Structure 1
Amino acid sequence: MGGNNRQRWFSFHQRSASATATTVPQHKHDETPPEFLCPITGFLMSDPVVVPSGQTFERLSVQICRNLGFVPDLLDGTRPDFSAVIPNLAMKSTIFSWCDRKKIDHPRPPDAAYSVTIRQTPFFPTRAVTMFSSSSTTSSSSGAYAGFDSSSPTSDYSSPSSSPMSPEEEEIYNKLRGADIFDHEQGLILLRKMTRSSEDLRVSLCTDRILSFLRQLLVSRYNLVQTNAAASLVNLSLEKQNKVKIVRSGFVPLLIDVLKSGTTEAQEHVAGALFSLALEDENKMVIGVLGAVEPLLHALRSSESERARQDAALALYHLSLIPSNRTRLVRAGAVASLLTMVRSGESTSRILLVLCNLAACPDGKGAMLDGNAVAILVGKLREGGEDEAARENCVAVLLTLCQGNLRFRGLASEAGAEEVLKEVEESGNGRVKEKAGRILQAMRGGGGESEYGETEAREWNRMIEATGLSRSQFQGGQNGGFACSSQF
């Protein structure tokens, strides 16, 4: 079957009368947000899941394609990775809330009719139809596709491995598998201790068996159990090869729950875990899609723990390196909150890193200009007293705001930016001096807007290190210097 046919198949949104349980009433369909519809069938999703490549589908659609060994070409030309699924709880909640507002029944779980609708799609491969026909009869009685147990709480994740256990894993496993809460606590303390400083053990103990127990214990109602589970997960997440595995194992929704309602100490560890996991590029979109942005923003604004606030800021910085998460932050009202924090001097250097990412997208730049960002940033520079990293980051945000924006000139002039920037240009180090000069050049109508791309990555690395953190903390490899690795 040719690529064009595959694309046409996945653009097929015709509703089958037999599958109305999963569709939106016709008169409502035109106003249905497209992200609420499964890209495969066009049906409103009842059980959305996100796949490793970042897209969200109806769970059963993914399972059918996986069981048939068929990977579609989507309309945007990409091919999704169906190797694992993670419940998209944030999307499900949003869909159900939208249905309530529109007075539409919540979409019901797909049944056999849903599978028939996919089979009847005119561009579904002939080979897949044959396979589908032979197995669909076995699934219709249970309301699920063959090989998919919708009742299993761990059906989203890899099954615990049957490979032999190391002595260390066996010792921990025997404690965690018991029914006694004291054994759980002791097993987690042992896991936390073993993974605190040993890179080899962090790799060897990040098994499906251990992760399965951690998923359960992370949401324990016992504070010590929850705290030690969260700390152990942070330690495991320090190794690059564990980061994607942890996210694919379904931890992000659990981490979000703890960030919202866990103890202060557990929240510290969870913020550190999300920061660590967000370092991996493959995780950034999934973490954002699963709804971590707003809870991290709330933790940054109001957590009682300074460490939690710092790690939340760094997690948001790394998540906001991709456009979709910048948009989520802007829609969550991040700009106003972050500017208020800059004005009050809270964690200024890290917050400015996030603001610089937001200023690089049109929505973020507009919200910042509307939110008096230019006057606030110029005011911070005028006050002085900031550390060199915060001063440089402040100038970097102004430089990003001025790129290709005529409105910036008027706002900067009103704020008296020229005088302040001249002073910065005269007294700053080489990087700050250069940035201030480029802003002044742009304000005078000169170029100043070209060259902004190539050297910026190197400059950001220097600025990050100037916050007091080592470069290794911002890379996915050996994170021995990670702020929490020696304490968890």
Structure 2
Amino acid sequence: MGSGKHRWKISIYRSTSTPTKHEIRPERPPNEFICPISGSLMADPVIVSTGQTFERACVTACKNLGFTPTLNDGSIPDFSMVIPNLALKTSIFNWAKLSLSFPPKPLELADALKLLESLMAETKQNGEISGELLRRVDENPGSNLLEHSESELTRRQTRFDSGESLSGSFRRTPFVLATRPSCYSSCSSSSEFDLTESGSCVDEGYVSKLRSQHVYEQEEGLVALRKTTRSSVESRVSLCTPRLLSALRSLITSKYTDIQVNSVAILVNLSLEKVNKVKIVRAGFVPPLIDVLRGRCPEAQEHASGALFSLALDDGNKTAIGVLGALQPLVHMLMRSESERARHDAALALYHLSLVQSNRLKLVKFGSVQLLLGMVKLGQMPGRALIILCNLGACNEGRAAMLDAGAVEFLIELLRKGEFDSESTQESCVAALYALGHGGGLRFRGLAKVAGAMDVLKDVIEKSNRERAKEKARRIIELLKAKEEEEEEVDWEKVLETGFQSRAITRPGGQSCRNSTEF
């Protein structure tokens, strides 16, 4: 104890003194410790709705001035909710102590306002930040510490995989999608959670109740745990332990409805935090969630769909969820469930899962292309169905299945009628057509020409209020025009003599892919 106190006193003394030339200190703090706006070490870091971390005063100044910066990755932060980042704050102060630096002081609001006013003066009319802010963010790419954190209550952008086009970059622009299951809603009336008052949470009491032999004690523990994980971000992180997950997993498929519903609802709450997502999948929760989807409890099915959607947001889980067999039950939930919330979350889960090639192939094999096109025809969640079709159209097998199902004619006719429930659905329709043109095959060009695509796409360019829809329409027109030029160079007599076989595409495994043959 004496030596410990002695070392502690020395540590305090050295942390407040001027380092000597013999002392080694880091050249600069880690990137994630730097505020993207102020460019300085954060003293009071907070996470905003879209997952980025900033100095609190900078966020307050942005809100006061109605100013929203655009970061170098194109993302736009949402300041509607602010959560203190206590873990990062502790790391920053520990770094300052170990590097013999003075701890950072919180930025004054007046200074932040002056900084933001100068940045606003440099802002271009199109809303992009120029000059100093971009330079700061480029120098500190790690400052967007939780860029893909799913701690938001509103929306964020999600990107398709990239491909190639005539211009060399066939990029699919992102759809703006919710990142929280619709079965979840915060019970807090405040836009800011103050984690400093939540205290430290331990799992012993909850685990003992969940493992009790008495049903009423299990229910009591689940109700308390559900309430805690619903309202406290810190609790969701600290309580996601192997012991508690093990106890919770055993209750997911309980024969008692209340126990099952509360168990899956708690899992949804825990899955909201990015650091928990991979833990939950590795703890073996996907198979019991699939069992719940196949069960007969609508409320539990809603939560199970929400949990799989939330878990699918993490790239490390996408392949595993598909391999474990969740795709087909999710498709069934999307098609058959009477719950709008369950269908909504199932659709978003399938969208994120279909960003992975192996899952696309499974979905095509299940016949999901025809089912999704049928949903669009019947007006059943057409926007959600179309964005999944966009992903499936990114692979040869999905594109072939869509061409076989008459997707080109159908999508063009849909655009011609213009009977969409929203502009985003129209944009998704154009994006699905855009995905079909990705292969650049003559088959697509022929079908589009017969369906009168040129006139319809020109009409979209003239009347649509969405720049991304207009841009995709322009790209498709460029693709069709390029094919017209290629057609002049095609020796049609030779093509006819070979019976269209010389240009066939071979799928992996040696199978001929006649559906995507260029002819």
Distance 1:186 1:372 in 2: 54
Aligned pairs (5 A) from 1:9-20: none
Q: Secondary structure at the match of 1:445?
A: helix
The CA deviation at 1:177 is: 2.2
The CA deviation at 1:446 is: 5.4
Find the counterpart in structure 2 of residue 340 from structure 1: 374
2:436 pairs with 1:401: yes
Cα distance per residue 1:384-443 (max 9 Å; x no partner): 231111111110111110122211111112222222111101111322111111112222
- The answer for unaligned runs of 5 or more in structure 1 is 1-164, 449-488
Aligned pairs (5 A) from 1:172-321: 172-321=206-355
Distance 2:338 2:474 in 1: 40
Q: Sort the Cα spacing of 1:262 and 1:214 in 2 relative to 1 into closer, same or farther, 3 A.
A: farther
Distance 1:198 1:210 in 2: 17
Q: Secondary structure at the match of 2:294?
A: helix
Q: Sort the Cα spacing of 1:447 and 1:248 in 2 relative to 1 into closer, same or farther, 3 A.
A: farther
1:437 to 463, 474, 478: 474
* Cα contact 1:238–1:276 (8 A) shared by 2: yes
Distance 2:483 2:403 in 1: 21
Distance 1:283 1:375 in 2: 36
The CA deviation at 1:284 is: 0.6
2:424 pairs with 1:389: yes
Cα distance per residue 1:327-380 (max 9 Å; x no partner): 000001110000000111111112111101100100000000000111221122
Q: Sort the Cα spacing of 1:360 and 1:204 in 2 relative to 1 into closer, same or farther, 3 A.
A: same
Find the counterpart in structure 2 of residue 169 from structure 1: 203
Distance 1:236 1:389 in 2: 31
Q: Secondary structure at the match of 1:178?
A: coil
* Cα contact 2:319–2:356 (8 A) shared by 1: yes
Q: Secondary structure at the match of 1:246?
A: helix
TM-score, scaled relative to structure 1:
0.57
2:493 pairs with 1:421: no
* Cα contact 2:228–2:235 (8 A) shared by 1: yes
* Cα contact 2:249–2:285 (8 A) shared by 1: yes
Amino acid aligned to 2:473: A
2:394 pairs with 1:360: yes
Alignment root-mean-square deviation, CA: 1.9
Distance 2:414 2:216 in 1: 52
Structure 1 stretch 288-297 or stretch 382-391: which is displaced more?
382-391
Cα distance per residue 1:7-45 (max 9 Å; x no partner): xxxxxxxxxxxxxxxxxxxxxxxxxxxxxxxxxxxxxxx
The CA deviation at 1:166 is: 6.1
| Richer in helix (by share) | 1
Cα distance per residue 1:203-257 (max 9 Å; x no partner): 1111111111111100000111000000000000000110000000001011111
Q: After the TM superposition, which parts of structure 1 deviate over 3 Å for at least 4 consecutive aligned residues?
A: 165-168
Q: Sort the Cα spacing of 1:328 and 1:372 in 2 relative to 1 into closer, same or farther, 3 A.
A: same
The CA deviation at 1:197 is: 2.3
Distance 1:182 1:166 in 2: 26
Cα distance per residue 1:131-190 (max 9 Å; x no partner): xxxxxxxxxxxxxxxxxxxxxxxxxxxxxxxxxx96552332232121111111111111
Find the counterpart in structure 1 of residue 45 from structure 2: none
* Cα contact 1:326–1:358 (8 A) shared by 2: yes
* Cα contact 1:285–1:325 (8 A) shared by 2: yes
* Cα contact 1:441–1:447 (8 A) shared by 2: no
Distance 1:283 1:307 in 2: 22
Amino acid aligned to 1:401: L
**Which protein is bigger by CA-based radius of gyration?**
2
Distance 1:168 1:180 in 2: 22
* Cα contact 1:425–1:433 (8 A) shared by 2: yes
Cα distance per residue 1:250-292 (max 9 Å; x no partner): 0101111111114110000000000000111111111000001
Q: Which has the higher contact order (CA 8 A, sep 6+)?
A: 1
Find the counterpart in structure 1 of residue 87 from structure 2: none
Aligned pairs (5 A) from 1:4-153: none
Find the counterpart in structure 1 of residue 161 from structure 2: none
Distance 2:269 2:484 in 1: 47
TM-score, scaled relative to structure 2:
0.53
* Cα contact 1:278–1:315 (8 A) shared by 2: yes
Aligned pairs (5 A) from 1:316-327: 316-327=350-361
Count, aligned residues: 285
* Cα contact 1:401–1:408 (8 A) shared by 2: yes
Distance 2:483 2:442 in 1: 12
Q: Secondary structure at the match of 2:203?
A: helix
Distance 2:256 2:330 in 1: 23
Distance 1:349 1:312 in 2: 13
Distance 2:271 2:460 in 1: 40
Distance 2:223 2:396 in 1: 47
Distance 2:231 2:429 in 1: 36
